[in-house]
Structure formats: structure tokens, C-alpha cells
């Protein structure tokens, strides 16, 4: 238990020294992606091999003494190439590491400092990149918020300290008063990273002014947008940075409790946060009289229960209170009547992580990054049909083209770029004509899109934009809480029309009806979820009207993607009449005589495709 500033400083110094003394480090990426690819097995294998070869190994920072530091790091960003392993001090990055590769890494790199070329990352042209610094994906990134993510043991409080952790909080607690902390955040022009881009400093100032106590800090970790996992990566990879930001917020506005609302689908994030909070309590950085001062702050984690609408502020606080996640009419705003009807600072994970950086490095430093009205960086998760899927952090204002081609490495398999969906189900799609659009809050708003939480999903020529619009509408419709009619009924009608269109039953008036409904929902829905629900439809109609027309008029899907418009048929010349397909078909849609050509009844066929993969003679074909 640390009782004073000096004790915290001493411990940090001790940790810094220990980090320097760690001559070698093996960082096994243990983000959600790499865990799915087998990170635990790789970790166990390293451990077993190091012990077998009698190489001193340090599993727990400091406590195990000197040795090769074997660590489970946060997301190292190139999720698709997992399991990722980095060896320090050389910085060699190994990709697609399997347990059977660990012995080679230990004997070559750990024992002799040699690089293992077979496991290295290779860029577009097949050039070997030994370290992350040589990989184009990382070159254009600016890692402020994700600085530690992937570089330290995600579960170690002491290692976070060794990287200068909790010095921002220390500064805010001892060297600054509330007003100074809020002013610093306001000066930095930090805007909320949850989607809306509301100025954080202004929000804090409003809560600070409230006379009602207690006040609350709420962290929105309900990252519901499908295709977004930045907040997940921060919570998993560097939970302390976010917790530190919450402590600073608590100190600034005079709150004594912080709630973290995490999505149910992020069990690893919940586990790591629990561990981090337990460590804070153990070391006296959370609880009563922190570091011997009069500042007290408690953390509490709430797990979501699977409702997208809970990402909306008032729905989220209702859920923490044990109620249904219904948004309410505003005003009064959360800053006045938030959680338990008390003044509440509600920010998202990335915003709190930014706070820690700003207090540490100062508003002037922060403002130099990004654009005039949107300073700083933004983390994006870049996924879909792109070469480098993963987690990126770039200065705000970088152009779409740079993000997709320089950082993202261009389209997967050399396919043609079609669109990028930004901002999830509330966002819009951007096309080639937006290539030079700077990605910042205001430019995107002008283009009818929004940064949202930062999910970028890249679609290639094989992606049907009508189907993508249907997909998002299906999502918002399912997630509509049902409180207001425009959203509850309007999204349902829009979905019905879209379903009709993608299944080949579209009517000539459908586009017009969609736009009419969209406008009504936009104008009259109660919360942000409803108001933005029609955005994907509107933007796909605007940019890909001809695709809608092809579905409606010609009953064709130009991207060859809509299953309902697909037809299976058996090529009579190739069919040997082996009867296998007829036996496999779960719908009994295939018939014929043995040793003669079979045929598929399109009326019964459910287009499941089991017959296609089951046919030894490749006689079953698809057509659109």
C-alpha cells in the first residue's frame, strides 16, 4: 500500500530500473485475435522450452528477479498475422507463430541474437521486414494512446509504472487544482472519441460546476458497433491508461466513484480490468484516501447484457442502475442528471486514455498533432477486404487514401476498391471520390458521414452495397429498444423493403419509399441510435443507386453476392449420376436417376451450397 507521493515515485523508479535490467523480452501478443489464434499455447510453449533449456525466465515483472521477460502483451495490431511475437531488444517481429516455432526462436534469437527469417513479416513485394519499424503499416502511424499497447505486459501494474504510469495522475493530484486540470483538457481541444466529438473539457467544466454530490465518472466501454474493436484493445492491452484517465477525471470534477460499462462480448477485457483494479486497490491508488490525500475514488465494473442501445449515454446509465436500457429525452443532460440522477462525466474508453496523455505531455504538445479543430490521434480498427486488418492509430486529418493504401496496404487479393463503411450502423459509406477527404470530425460530418467509434470496414467489388445496407438496417432494427415509434416501426419498414430488394422482389417505388422513411426517422427519433439508423441506406442510395436499380429492375446482383438471387444448377455433361448430391441435400431438392444427369428444383432449393462442396465432379455450378 503506497501512502505518499514519494512512495509512488520510489516504486516507479524501482520498476524503471527493473525494466532496464531485463535484457531480453519475449512479448506474446494476447489480444482477442491472437488468443483465438492460439496465443496461450505459444506462451506455454515458450515457458516450457525456456525452463527445459535452463534459461532464467521472469514471468512476473520484478518479483521473479532477472531473466528473460516472458510477457502477454496487448494487441500488437496485425491481428490477421497472429500469433504475433516480438523479441526485444532487437525488436524482431515474428508472425503466425505456432508452438512448434518457439524452440527455433529461443535457440536462434534468444540465445544467439539471430533473426529467424522464415517467421518474419513480408510486405506487399515480398520484402522481409525484421522489425515493426520497417513495416509500412506502422510507419505512418502515431501511437499516443496505444503507446504501451503491445509493448508491456497487459496484466502488470508494475510494468505500467515502469513505463511512466500514474505520473499524470500524480501530477493532477499534487501539482494541479481541479480548475487547472479541466483547463488543460479544454486547452487541448480534446473531443470525445465515442462518436459525437463533444469537447471533453467543456463537459468536465459543466460537471465541476454542479453543486449536487456525489458525482460520478462513467466510462463507456460498450463498444457495440460491429467491426470496431479499438476500445476492446485498450481495455485488454493497456487497461491502466484508461483507469488513470478516469482517476484524473474524478479528481478534476470532484467525483468519488467510477463505473466502467463493458460489453458482454469482451470477457478478456473484463478480466484484465478486474485485475488492474485489484492492483490499484492493493497499491493504494484506488479506495479511500489515495496516496494519503483526501481524494477517494472507487471503481466498479458493470458488464453489458447484449443491448447495443446501451452505448447511448442515458440508456447506459439506466442499465447500470439495473433498469432496461432505454434512452430518455434530453435535456436534462447527463452532466446534470446522469447516473443515479447525479452529475456525471460520461466519456468513452479512448477519451479517458487520451486524458492521461494530455496531462502527461501537455495541451500544447497535443494540439500539434492532428488538425486545428480535431487535435490528437484516433484509433481505428481497419477490417474487411483489406490487406492489413488490425488496429491502427493515426493523426486526425489523415486522408482516407493514406489510411487505406499506405497504412492498410491496399485491397486484399488485388481486388478493386469499392467503398469503406465508417462509423458502423450509424455511419455512412465513402467511395473513391472521398479519397482525399481528411478523416476528422468536421470534414466527415460535412460529407454526411461520422467518425463514430472508429470502425473502418473496407468493401471490395464483391461486396453488394444493397446487402450491406440491409445488414446494417437489420442490425439497428434488432437493436432498436422500442421506446419511440419512428425507430421501432420505421426501421422495421425500411428493413422489409431492403429484404424485398435483395431477394429479387423489389418494386419500382422502393427507393423513394426508403428515402421518405429515412427522412422521417432522422427527424423524429428520440436518440442518436434512431436518428442515425437510416444513414447507411441513404449513403448507399446516394453512391450506388445503380446497384439498387439492378436488384429492383433486373433482379440481378452485380456484385454476385446476394444469395437469394443466386441459382444452382447441375451441368449435365459433368454429372455422373452418383446420387451423392441428392443424398446430401437437406431440402430434398435434387432428383434424378442413378448414372444419369441429376437436376435441382429451384423452387425447393434453399441455396445452402452443401451439394456444391459435396460433388466430386464439380458439376454443380452457381449463376446470378
Partner 1 sequence: MENAIDLDFTRNVIDEFNGAPSAIIAMLQEIQEKYRYLPKEIFPVLSRTTGLSEARIYSLATFYENFSLEPKGRNIIKVCDGTACHVRKSLPILERLRAELRLPQGVVTTGDLEFTVEVVACLGACGLSPVLTLNGKAYPAMTPDKASNLLRSVKESEVPRDA
Binding site for partner 1 (CB under 8 A): 32-33, 35-37, 78-80, 82, 223-229, 232, 263-267, 302-308, 319-325, 381, 383-385, 389-391, 421, 424, 455, 457-459, 463, 468, 471-472, 475, 479, 481, 563, 586, 606-610, 613
Nearer to partner 1, 82 or 197 (CB): 82
Name which of 290 and 320 has its Cβ closer to partner 1. Answer: 320
Least gap, CB of 360 to partner 1 (angstroms): 27
Give Dmax (Cα) for the chain.
Answer: 88
* Least spacing, CB of residue 400 vs partner 1, in Å: 17
Judged by DSSP in three states, 617 sits in coil
Q: Residue 613, exposed/middle/buried by CB under 10 A (0-12, 13-18, 19+)?
A: exposed
**Which positions ≥6 away from 72 have C-beta within 8 Å?**
28, 30, 39, 43, 153, 154, 155
For partner 1, the closer of residues 204 and 326 by Cβ is 326
Identity of the residue, 5 or 564, whose beta carbon is nearer to partner 1 in the bound complex: 564
How many Å apart are CA 419 and CA 459, to the nearest integer? 5
- Minimum distance from CB of 77 to partner 1 (Å)? 9
User: What is the rounded distance in angstroms from the CA atom of residue 421 to the CA atom of residue 227?
Assistant: 10
Give min distance, CB of 500 to partner 1, in A: 18
Least distance in angstroms from the C-beta of 13 to partner 1: 36
**Mapping DSSP to helix (H, G, I), strand (E, B) and coil, where does residue 425 land?**
helix
CB of 415 to partner 1, least distance (A): 12
Q: Which is nearer to partner 1, 307 or 570 (by Cβ)? A: 307
Q: Residue 442 Cβ, how far from partner 1 at the closest point, in Å?
A: 24
Taking the C-alpha atoms of residue 350 and residue 83, their distance in angstroms, rounded to an integer, is: 25
Instruction: From residue 59, give the alpha-carbon distance in Å to each of 17, 44, 116.
Output: 17, 11, 24
Burial state string for 300-319 with b = 16 or more CB within 10 A and e = fewer than 16: ebbbbeebbbbbbbbbbbbb
In the complex with partner 1, the residue whose CB is nearer, 201 or 408, is 408
Task: Judge if the upstream peptide bond of residue 54 is cis by omega within 30 degrees of 0.
Answer: no
Residue with cell 479528481: 251
For partner 1, the closer of residues 232 and 404 by Cβ is 232
225 vs 238 by CB, closer to partner 1: 225
Lookup result for grid cell 510494468: 159
Please report how close the Cβ of residue 573 comes to partner 1 at its closest, in angstroms: 25
∠ CA(579), CA(576), CA(565), 5° rounding? 75
Identify whether the C-beta of residue 182 lies closer than 8 Å to the C-beta of residue 391: no
Amino acid at each position: 500500500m503506497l501512502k505518499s507521493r514519494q512512495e509512488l515515485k520510489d516504486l516507479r523508479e524501482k520498476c524503471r530500473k527493473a525494466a532496464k535490467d531485463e535484457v531480453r523480452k519475449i512479448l506474446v501478443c494476447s489480444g482477442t485475435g491472437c488468443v483465438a489464434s492460439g496465443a496461450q499455447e505459444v506462451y506455454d510453449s515458450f515457458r516450457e522450452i525456456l525452463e527445459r533449456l535452463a534459461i532464467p525466465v521472469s514471468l512476473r515483472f520484478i518479483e521473479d528477479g532477472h531473466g528473460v521477460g516472458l510477457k502477454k502483451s496487448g494487441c500488437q495490431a496485425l491481428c490477421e498475422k497472429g500469433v504475433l511475437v516480438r523479441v526485444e531488444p532487437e525488436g524482431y517481429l515474428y508472425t503466425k507463430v505456432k508452438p512448434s516455432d518457439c524452440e527455433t526462436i529461443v535457440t536462434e534469437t534468444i540465445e544467439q541474437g539471430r533473426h529467424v527469417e522464415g517467421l518474419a513479416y513480408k510486405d506487399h513485394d515480398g520484402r522481409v521486414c525484421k522489425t515493426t519499424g520497417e513495416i509500412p503499416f506502422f510507419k505512418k502511424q502515431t501511437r499516443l494512446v496505444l503507446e504501451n499497447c503491445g509493448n508491456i505486459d497487459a496484466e502488470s501494474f508494475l510494468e505500467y509504472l515502469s513505463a511512466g504510469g500514474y505520473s499524470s495522475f500524480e501530477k493532477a493530484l499534487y501539482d494541479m487544482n481541479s480548475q487547472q486540470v479541466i483547463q488543460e483538457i479544454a486547452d487541448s481541444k480534446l473531443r470525445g472519441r465515442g462518436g459525437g466529438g463533444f469537447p471533453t473539457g467543456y463537459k468536465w467544466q459543466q460537471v465541476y460546476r454542479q453543486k449536487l454530490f456525489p458525482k460520478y465518472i462513467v466510462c463507456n466501454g460498450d463498444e457495440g458497433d460491429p467491426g470496431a474493436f479499438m476500445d476492446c484493445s485498450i481495455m485488454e492491452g493497456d487497461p491502466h491508461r484508461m483507469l488513470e484517465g478516469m482517476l484524473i477525471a474524478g479528481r478534476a470534477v470532484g467525483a468519488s466513484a467510477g463505473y466502467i460499462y463493458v460489453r458482454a462480448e469482451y470477457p478478456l477485457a473484463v478480466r484484465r480490468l478486474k485485475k488492474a483494479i485489484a492492483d490499484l486497490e492493493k497499491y493504494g491508488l484506488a479506495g479511500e484516501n489515495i496516496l494519503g490525500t483526501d481524494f477517494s475514488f472507487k471503481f466498479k465494473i458493470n458488464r453489458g447484457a447484449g443491448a447495443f442501445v446501451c452505448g447511448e449515454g442515458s440508456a447506459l446509465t439506466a442499465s447500470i442502475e439495473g433498469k432496461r436500457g432505454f434512452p430518455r429525452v434530453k435535456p436534462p443532460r447527463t452532466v446534470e442528471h446522469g447516473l443515479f440522477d447525479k452529475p456525471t462525466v460520461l466519456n468513452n474508453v479512448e477519451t479517458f486514455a487520451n486524458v492521461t496523455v494530455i496531462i502527461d505531455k501537455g495541451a500544447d504538445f497535443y494540439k500539434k498533432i492532428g488538425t486545428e479543430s480535431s487535435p490528437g490521434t484516433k484509433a481505428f480498427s481497419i477490417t474487411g477486404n483489406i490487406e492489413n486488418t488490425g488496429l491502427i492509430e493515426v493523426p486526425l486529418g489523415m486522408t482516407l487514401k493514406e489510411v487505406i493504401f499506405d497504412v492498410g496496404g491496399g485491397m486484399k487479393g488485388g481486388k478493386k476498391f469499392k467503398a469503406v463503411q465508417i462509423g458502423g450502423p450509424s455511419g455512412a459509406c465513402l467511395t473513391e471520390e472521398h479519397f482525399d477527404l481528411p478523416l476528422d470530425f468536421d470534414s466527415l460530418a460535412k460529407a454526411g458521414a461520422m467518425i463514430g467509434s472508429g470502425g473502418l470496414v473496407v468493401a471490395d467489388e464483391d461486396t453488394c452495397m444493397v446487402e450491406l445496407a440491409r445488414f446494417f438496417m437489420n442490425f439497428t432494427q434488432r437493436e432498436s429498444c422500442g421506446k419511440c415509434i419512428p425507430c421501432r416501426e420505421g426501421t422495421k419498414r425500411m428493413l422489409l423493403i431492403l429484404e424485398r430488394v435483395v431477394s429479387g422482389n423489389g418494386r419500382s417505388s422502393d427507393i423513394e419509399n426508403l428515402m421518405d422513411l429515412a427522412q422521417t426517422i432522422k427527424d423524429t427519433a428520440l436518440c442518436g441510435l434512431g436518428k442515425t439508423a437510416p444513414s447507411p441506406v441513404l449513403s448507399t442510395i446516394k453512391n450506388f443507386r445503380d446497384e439498387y436499380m439492378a436488384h429492383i429492375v433486373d433482379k440481378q446482383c452485380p456484385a454476385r453476392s446476394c444469395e437469394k438471387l443466386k441459382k444452382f444448377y447441375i451441368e449435365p455433361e459433368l454429372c455422373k449420376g452418383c446420387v451423392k448430391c441428392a443424398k446430401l441435400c437437406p431440402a430434398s431438392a435434387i432428383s434424378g436417376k442413378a448414372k444419369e444427369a441429376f437436376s435441382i428444383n429451384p423452387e425447393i432449393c434453399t441455396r445452402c451450397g452443401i451439394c456444391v462442396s459435396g460433388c466430386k465432379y464439380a458439376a454443380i455450378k452457381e449463376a446470378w
